[in-house]
Structure 1
């Protein structure tokens, strides 16, 4: 029996990863800030799939939260075979309309936490000669999208770089770059995503299914769905100014504070 640790596990892609991995027979370590939701989800997954599901309540925007998950990942007596760095969020406005402290918090969750947790997990995995890390990024990594897009671009470059460094070690790394997914993400960020065309929305469970397949194939980058593969290909051909205008307006209308 293998164990997977998932951050941001109570909703969206994190919850979808938990369902898929539990269905595949993995024991789980679920990480998020909301202890009550974590325990409810862990109990439901245990009852439905018969796997062990433990919880770690941690806020990855804090030093204590990151350290707690690092410690769990480094525990050789309870090895983690797959890490899914999924925790993340969007800010509620555009640059300069968001307090710089909130921008720095985003970098801590999207970049520092991903780096430190990947390091803790991959070190233990390399010692055992096996393991995998999925770092959830976004197609926003490939278009001008403020701090959010920049942080996700960092995730992609970091993940692919580390994957090359660890080639042949038995440890696989992959950056997952979905487009718009039907989750709580936009609602939590106070964004009105009503302008996003229906055909651009993806199902969280299908995104995770594609990610699991791509990781098994040894890919270091996964862009689920042919529609987004085509869009990202076309984006490479567009002038950066035009791409920036399209990116800044799509799905970024904000409601009242």
Structure 2
């Protein structure tokens, strides 16, 4: 009896601090470990007393909360920094690492991800909710000094007048989906077919949405060329490594290599059966 009570208490202690894991972070390029760390960072960001959203956690605390090893933590941090979903700073003696979620970049990525999926694949209308949240977050001051922004507007305008280049100012770089696809090993024909498909569906192609597909291609261990061939073949708007794509991949393989599916026939074989 005492043993049973001890076991119950142990299980209750194990369930005392469950982690809220957002699986959608996986599909915007974070990977499993990156999504796990980002989920915890988002959770603690909402609870930090720091006005700018900075939080501090030791390596041991990360392990206790997530189960991630030191190497897994470092790889996850590297991935999140590359995606610009978090930023870090070191301060104090001894030196400590502080983390902050780049909420604007994260929300933009989630909105672009949601736009690439059908409503049936993205339950709960996340796109609408994320757009509303993004607007609210952008309306908030980034720090305490932001409240003084309006009073400094006149000075800022005066200081920038002299550097206004007017019509001579360089135009902003326009993103070219086709060029970006070709630069990432997608053939010109496949790139154009994908662009035509997206135009037919009236869907915007962004650099981030393409990078998400590249990431999923790596997850599925497929080339970028093959993944976009599958997207066009299936008429999909995007690609996810967990979707049922293997049959389409096999059909494309058969179309590209018909000889590989033919039986081996000896060169001296004759169809004339008269001598038998």
TM-score when normalising by structure 2: 0.25
Structure with more relative contact order (C-alpha pairs < 8 Å, separation 6 or more)? 1
Higher-strand-fraction structure: 1
TM-score when normalising by structure 1: 0.26
Higher-helix-fraction structure: 2
